[in-house]
Amino acid sequence: VFTAKTEEFRQTVSNILGYTLFFQPTKIRLTSAYNLSAAITFQLNTSSRSSDSSATMKLLGAGNGEDPELDQRLVELIEEWIVKRDSIPCFMAALTLECFERMHGSGGQADGGMGEETMQMTRTVS
């Protein structure tokens, strides 16, 4: 049951956020659904002092060397969003958009409009 729920959680996160998660004892590796070369590894540092229970993330690596252009773009995104603005969520969002646009072109879908699947999702959520 636990294994099935874990897989269900991983699939749900992947569908919503666009990243597949791979958990290791002290690391989390994320791979973009839009570009497998966009792999990011974070180290989880936890602090469990009696008055403060917090976790911080440290970026260990990004890219896998298969796409030099993407690797360079990753360096730029890391500099902008993690180093300058201290925001991992914004970095992840920017990387998702970068990978999506590389996969589908800068106009999104081939027809340039909102697809039927997106329209149905919007109606379902409303």
pLDDT at 96: 92
The predicted-structure confidence for 83-113, as pLDDT tens digits, reads as follows 999 898 999 999 999 999 988 886 544 444 4
Write the CA distances from 87 to 75, 83, 84, 91, 93, integer angstroms.
Answer: 15, 8, 8, 6, 10
Check pLDDT > 80 for residue 23: yes
Angle among Cα 104, 20, 85 to the nearest 5 degrees reads: 80
Check pLDDT > 60 for residue 121: no
Please tell me whether the overall predicted TM-score, pTM, comes out greater than 0.85 for this model.
no
Distance separating alpha carbons of residues 2 and 21, to the nearest angstrom: 17
Backbone angles phi, psi at 44, to 5 degrees: -95, 120
- Look up residue 63 and give its two tokens: 């890219």
Q: If pLDDT is split at 50, 70 and 90, which confidence band does 65 have?
A: confident
- Look up residue 31 and give its two tokens: 């791979």
The residue type of 100 is F
Residue 64, class by beta-carbon neighbours within 10 Å (0-12 exposed, 13-18 middle, 19+ buried)?
Answer: middle
Question: Span 13-20, mean pLDDT?
Answer: 90
Check pLDDT > 70 for residue 42: yes
Average pLDDT, rounded, for the chain: 78
* HSE of 31, CA atoms in CB hemisphere, 13 A: 9
